[in-house]
Amino acid sequence: MTSASLDALAGVQLYFKCENLQRSGSFKMRGASNAVFSLSDEDAARGVVTHSSGNHAAALALAASRRGIRAWIVMPSDSPQIKQRGVAACGAEITVCEPTLAAREAAARDVMKHTGAVMIHPYDDDRIIAGQATAAVELIEQVPDLDYILAPVSGGGLLSGIGLATRHLRPAARVIGCEPAQADDAARSLASGKLEPASKGTTIADGLRATLSQRTLGILQRTADAIALVTEDEIIAIMQLLWERLKIVVEPSGAVAAAPAIFRRLNAEGRKVGIVLSGGNVDPATLRSTMGERNG
Amino acid sequence: MTSASLDALAGVQLYFKCENLQRSGSFKMRGASNAVFSLSDEDAARGVVTHSSGNHAAALALAASRRGIRAWIVMPSDSPQIKQRGVAACGAEITVCEPTLAAREAAARDVMKHTGAVMIHPYDDDRIIAGQATAAVELIEQVPDLDYILAPVSGGGLLSGIGLATRHLRPAARVIGCEPAQADDAARSLASGKLEPASKGTTIADGLRATLSQRTLGILQRTADAIALVTEDEIIAIMQLLWERLKIVVEPSGAVAAAPAIFRRLNAEGRKVGIVLSGGNVDPATLRSTMGERNG
């Protein structure tokens, strides 16, 4: 998507890759599809398992349903009912656990032990990263002379795929990861060269709270040019701008990558800037709370 | 756009024509562009004038700006500031008048007298109707075997264009106009065979309060199969479903045509149903008020 009025605001040519319009409502469908459909028939017959409260859960459930195999999804007890219903609607079996990473991992191991299902990690997996890379492949096919690609970074699966694809197909483009200042572990990890712990801040961008893995940190060290930090107010302002000007709903995590360009922090006057709007799954209360009247 | 989950809900195959994603945010850009660009150079040099509080104003201002000619827009004093700013941003000159039809028409005549500008009526104009028809032309090109086309009806410009195009390109398809039960003059006019006055009800669908003209009534008598009425609650429920499932923002008037199909009032099990989502220009307060949690 493009918008003349947002271009004027940003001072650059913006090309939005609208992964909020993707099946299952986020880019996660790319990696989940690649992982599920690249399983051998023997492995596929065992089914797949993951732990996720969010978009990876929905995507894996849908991808498994499309291949006609079983899926077990471990979801923390605080994940929204609407997301649990969406996963159940795809025929996946949900195991509810305590909302801690330890409980999630233990429950997933338990499912693997009892069912033999194949674990599909949300980002620490080459099949997932290769799937997410297709977002950049398509964007570069449509806009071959892109100067920048901006995408959110959480666990780093999406940004790793985008970095690898861009270095191969459009090496001149700068790859910028974007994350909330309140969840800045990727920026700190790339600065220090080692995995840094999660931030203690809270952010409305609930999909961006995961931390890099050794695998994604290594890929980003070779392929990402910079990490840009975005404030909570900026995330909300971008969500509002996107519905006002593009008439689309983007979840907080999905809006982050538009902020550095629209708030003119790239020093890229007149350049072509690709932005991955990574998802659109937002619950009614969050959406309502972000739809306040802005000043001016 | 299509959605497997909305198809399951509706029991038909839905094909959404997303005019909310159109330039200027509604289908009105089609008719306004056709009217402005079909003017002779001599007429164009005089500029164009209209009276409108809504989407036609923005579309005419943008179309005139694209041709590089002047536009005067008469807007009632109660039209939202956000819409006045949008029109002004295109370089159009705004005349604010009292919020009555008589005051709007008088102000437009006054502009014509002083400037010589050409009046472009929002719907009672063959150039406008021909422009709006292109929405159906494109939809039928993409889905040649459509069984139904549903579109909102207000003054009848859009539905007239769709009716004419459909009778020509896909005569087997049924053309259904949709309007709020609270603004049902089109249904009454087609039933009685003459122009009926506006309803006294109020509707959230602020774009659907105009009444047919003799021209559009005549076209609809020949080309429309039926008019379906939609309740206020249904309009809000459809707006919510569209952002939840399609991740798009549709204004109340733009959501109306989806209701008869999604609430299964067509008796069209398994058929292919095209739906014109006519616009996406909704102010923050209205959007917020429609984003409440639904039951179930």
Q: Whole-number mean pLDDT of chain B?
A: 94
- Kindly list the domain boundaries of chain A, sorted by start residue: 4-24+125-289, 28-119
DSSP assigned state of A271: -
Q: What is the pLDDT of residues B281-291, one digit of tens each?
A: 988 888 888 87
- Shortest CA distance to B1 belongs to which of B247, B219, B180? B247
* Domain B4-23+125-289 -> CATH class: alpha beta
CB A183 within 8 A of CB A126: no
CB B153 within 8 A of CB B211: no
pLDDT of residue A101: 82
For residue A296, the chain B residue with the least C-alpha distance is B82
Q: B291: which chain A residues are within 8 Å (Cβ-Cβ)?
A: 284, 287-288, 291
Beta bridge partners of B230: B180
- HSE-CB of A34 using CA atoms within 13 angstroms: 20
Q: What is the pLDDT of residues B159-196, one digit of tens each?
A: 999 999 999 999 999 999 999 999 999 999 999 999 99
Task: Output the six-digit token pair for B109.
Answer: 């005549």
**Side chain identity at residue A39, one-letter code:** L
Q: Is the pLDDT of residue A296 over 60?
A: no
- Residue range A180-198: average pLDDT? 97
pLDDT of residue A295: 40
**Catalytic-residue membership of A53:** yes
- HSE-CB of A29 using CA atoms within 13 angstroms: 18
pLDDT of residue A80: 76
Q: A4: which chain B residues are within 8 Å (Cβ-Cβ)?
A: 23
CB A275 within 8 A of CB A150: yes
CB B74 within 8 A of CB B170: no
- Strands A71-76 and A48-51, sheet pairing: parallel
Asked whether the CA dihedral B149, B152, B154, B157 is positive or negative, the reply is negative
Q: What is the ipTM of this complex?
A: 0.91
**Catalytic-residue membership of A17:** no
pLDDT of residue A202: 92
**Side chain identity at residue B182, one-letter code:** Q
- Residue range A249-259: average pLDDT? 96
Neighbours of B85 (CB within 10 A): 11
- Residue range B128-136: average pLDDT? 98
CB–CB contact B250 A247 (8 Å)? yes
**Cβ contacts of residue B96 below 8 Å, gap of 6+?**
B74, B75, B76, B77, B84
Which segments of chain B are extended strands (E)?
13-18, 48-51, 71-76, 93-97, 118-119, 148-152, 174-180, 226-230, 272-277
Beta bridge partners of A14: A273
Q: Is the pLDDT of residue A82 over 80?
A: no
Distance, in Å, from the CA atom of B203 to the CA atom of B179, rounded to the nearest integer, reads 10
pLDDT of residue A182: 96
Alpha carbon A141 to its chain centroid, in Å, reads 21
* Highest-scoring range by mean pLDDT, A65-79, B70-84, B222-236: B222-236
CB B252 within 8 A of CB B152: no
CB A160 within 8 A of CB A223: yes
Q: A255: which chain B residues are within 8 Å (Cβ-Cβ)?
A: none
Q: What is the pLDDT of residues B244-292, one digit of tens each?
A: 999 999 999 999 999 999 999 999 999 999 999 999 998 888 888 887 6
pLDDT of residue B215: 98
Neighbours of A237 (CB within 10 A): 18
- Residue range A100-107: average pLDDT? 90
For residue B296, the chain A residue with the least C-alpha distance is A82
Topology of the domain covering A28-119: Rossmann fold (3.40.50)
**Side chain identity at residue B17, one-letter code:** K
For residue B254, the chain A residue with the least C-alpha distance is A247
Number of A/B CB contacts below 8 angstroms equals 52
pLDDT of residue B53: 76
Distance, in Å, from the CA atom of A113 to the CA atom of B175, rounded to the nearest integer, reads 57
pLDDT of residue A100: 84
pLDDT of residue B295: 40
Least confident of A158-172, B69-83, B183-197: B69-83
CA distance B248 to chain A (A): 4
* Domain A4-24+125-289 -> CATH class: alpha beta
Check for a shared fold between B4-23+125-289 and B28-119. Answer: yes
Task: Output the six-digit token pair for A48.
Answer: 């797949």
Q: What is the pLDDT of residues A106-142, one digit of tens each?
A: 999 999 999 999 999 999 999 999 999 999 999 999 9
pLDDT tier at A53, thresholds 50, 70, 90: confident
Mutate: best of B26, B247, B291, partner A, most A CBs <10 A? B247
- Strands A272-277 and B71-76, sheet pairing: unpaired
| Ramachandran sector of residue A264 (left: φ over 0; alpha: ψ -120 to 50; beta: rest) | left
CB A52 within 8 A of CB A19: no
Q: Is the pLDDT of residue B293 over 80?
A: no
CB–CB contact B248 A248 (8 Å)? yes
pLDDT of residue A268: 94
CA distance A249 to chain B (A): 5
- Residue range B100-117: average pLDDT? 93
- Residue range B68-88: average pLDDT? 88
